[in-house]
Chain A
């Protein structure tokens, strides 16, 4: 339903987030991502990258502001309609969040089973994908018996098995070497070419510089204005900006940029 979405996969309008009674960790976040775009979400540790992703994959509700996902206002979407939205999002969690009591196969099969796919279809697709990421020989292995890199592959396979429209990855290159990191980026770019919108949170600025693509630059909970990042992969730039902050905030965010 692209017409419903206006060509935008996700839109944030003046979104704020606080954990419990704490301070706002995200303030006045406004942006939208065109379908098929590829973005890095960068910023120093503690800037709120993970929190922003959590809002995007519907693990959290914003304290204020409007989030529109696939053309639907999240605040007015009933709980029972959320699973259908979530099935169109693939997430590579920072700590993978694999289910340790299940085999690699069952972990990757989860999104398909949850969506009610037939077991022989599940089998075919999962084996295919696990072979493709190079885990053909570890189909029955449980995550704790796999290396960090192998676990990450399982996590990525689980994120993409359902052909998501939106792929979110939180520090996916966090604990692998540079060579692996580039191969991983290549994988994400392949997916992007097939039409999936990709957002990768990272604080590895070197990687961002080498790979290119648009940047969403977060600092202390809001977006820094980031001119001149457009069109690297032929996709339009995000509409990212500090919206209505005080001068104090602007000062802080530009200070963050310089760092």
Chain B
């Protein structure tokens, strides 16, 4: 597969030599784009899982401690009896104060300010948040539920946009590879015009000649892709290592699923297929224009 026998002296062509290097470069970039996409994907999936399972319920301070306690108890009872709620716990005043301290200063810790009550709720995935909100507000009208959705949706939309960009980049790179193959093939056709004429006169179909160009382009692509992938793996390893050292908590573990790994193996195959098909079509189309 790496050194197919051809009737055309294609392996000696200097114009074909740059092809493996261009493909190596493209596959290298494509590997990084793919790794980035897979990483963002698992990141977004992790967020969705984490966030969709929790809610926070806020009960604003009324200035009357007893009333606040009463409304909080009502909310807790209501939540705990609602279907799909796994857990509903009051967040301690100290913790609320600690959460607010960066904004409000040490005064909160001293208990001088009226603090809202926070309830941390864990729910099943299929719970209708709107339903839950209505049920809660029937008991405690001024309670609000923050399901983190709006915030999350924005982030996820951003991630998807970046993924789309990476996809578009991959498509562009594929097109560039195809363009390079078209150029190399056209040059090869011009350089070997004489040999091609002899092959035709001997009775070769266009497809026979196309097959030779396709095999050669495929061999170039596989070789180039192997180099590109070989360079990408240590690069990704280094990036992963640095990332986990810098921000260990922020990042989900960088291990790839089997699907992720096979996506990387698809890259050289895709490069080989693009190269072979492009070369074949280029030859067939060019030769069909001959008399």
A residues contacting B by CB (< 8 A) are: 57-59, 61, 79-80, 83-84, 86-87, 91, 97, 99, 101-102, 106, 110-111, 113-115, 158, 162
Contact = CB atoms under 8 A, between A and B. Distances in A.
Contact of B7 (A59, A80, A83, A113): A113
A83 B205 contact: yes
Nearest to A115: B203
Contacts of B203: 83-84, 86-87, 111, 114-115, 162
A114 B208 contact: yes
A10 to B, nearest CB: 16
B200 A86 contact: yes
List the 9 closest pairs (A to B, CB-CB), nearest first.
Answer: A87-B203, A101-B9, A86-B203, A114-B204, A83-B203, A83-B205, A111-B202, A97-B198, A114-B203
Contact of B197 (A59, A84, A87, A162): A59
Interface string B257-291: 00000000000000000000000000000001001
Contact of B201 (A57, A79, A113, A115): A57
B77 interface: no
B188 to A, nearest CB: 14
B12 interface: yes
A110 B201 CA distance: 11
Contacts of A101: 9, 12
Contacts, number: 45
A162 B201 CA distance: 13
A106 B212 CA distance: 15
A84 B203 CA distance: 6
Nearest to A79: B288
Nearest to A91: B201
B197 A86 contact: no
A69 to B, nearest CB: 13
A162 B141 CA distance: 95
Interface of B: 7, 9, 12, 194-195, 197-206, 208, 288, 291
A114 B202 contact: yes
Contacts of B204: 83, 114
Nearest to A97: B198
Contacts of A91: 201
Residue among B7, B201, B206 having the largest count of chain A Cβ atoms under 10 Å = B201
A241 to B, nearest CB: 29
Nearest to B10: A101
A86 B197 CA distance: 12
Nearest to A90: B202
Nearest to A111: B202
Residue among B195, B202, B206, B208 having the largest count of chain A Cβ atoms under 10 Å = B202
17 contacts: A57-B201, A59-B201, A61-B291, A83-B203, A83-B204, A83-B205, A99-B7, A99-B195, A102-B7, A106-B7, A111-B202, A111-B203, A113-B7, A114-B199, A114-B205, A114-B208, A115-B203
A61 B290 CA distance: 12
Contact of B202 (A79, A80, A106, A110): A110
Contacts of A102: 7
Residue among B197, B204, B288 having the largest count of chain A Cβ atoms under 10 Å = B204
Contacts of B200: 83, 86
Given A61-B291, A158-B202, 10 more contacts: A59-B197, A79-B288, A83-B203, A86-B201, A86-B202, A87-B202, A91-B201, A99-B9, A101-B12, A114-B205
Contacts of B199: 110, 114
Nearest to B202: A111
Nearest to A61: B291
Residue among B12, B194, B205 having the largest count of chain A Cβ atoms under 10 Å = B205
Contacts of B194: 97
Contact of A99 (B12, B198, B208, B288): B198
A114 B208 CA distance: 7
Contacts of B206: 80
Contacts of A87: 202-203
Contacts of B198: 97, 99
Contacts of B288: 79
Contacts of A84: 203
A113 to B, nearest CB: 7
Contacts of B202: 86-87, 110-111, 114, 158
Residue among B194, B203, B205 having the largest count of chain A Cβ atoms under 10 Å = B203
A99 B202 CA distance: 12
A110 B7 contact: yes
A178 to B, nearest CB: 29
A116 B190 CA distance: 25
Contacts of B208: 114
A87 B204 CA distance: 8
Contacts of B205: 80, 83, 114
Contacts of A106: 7
A97 B201 CA distance: 11
